[in-house]
Amino acid sequence: MNGIIVLNKPAGRTSFEAVRAVSRFFSKEKAGHSGTLDPMATGVLPVFLGRATKLIQYLPDTDKEYIADIAFGIKTDTGDREGKPVSSSDTRPNEKDWYASVQAHFGEQTQIPPMYSAIKKNGVPLYDMARQGKTIDREPRTIIVSDIETLDFASDKARIRVRCSAGTYIRTLAEDLASQCGCFAYLKGLERIYACGFSIKDAVTLEELEVAEDKEKFLIEPSALFTDYPSVELDENLARLFLNGFVFPVSRLGKEYETGLLINVYKENKYIGLGTITDTAELKKLWQAEEA
Residues marked as catalytic: 38
CB-CB contact of 247 with 275 (8 Å): no
Q: Is the dihedral of CA 93, 96, 97, 101 positive or negative?
A: positive
3-state secondary structure at position 264: strand
CA distance linking residue 99 with residue 158, whole number of Å: 11
Count CB neighbours of 217 within 10 A. 8
Q: Which stretches of 98-184 are assigned E, i.e. beta strand?
A: 107-111, 120-121, 124-125, 141-154, 157-164
Task: State how far the Cα of 283 lies from the Cα of 211, in Å rounded to an integer.
Answer: 51
Rounded CA-CA distance 71/92 in Å is 10
Three-state DSSP at 149 gives strand
Q: How far apart are CA 161 and CA 184, in angstroms?
A: 19
- CA–CA distance, 268 with 235 (Å, rounded to integer): 8
Under 8 Å between Cβ of 157 and 69: yes
> Do the beta carbons of residue 12 and residue 37 sit within 8 Å?
no
Q: How far apart are CA 103 and CA 97, in angstroms?
A: 10
CB 2 within 8 A of CB 50: yes
Q: One-letter amino acid identity for 121? A: K
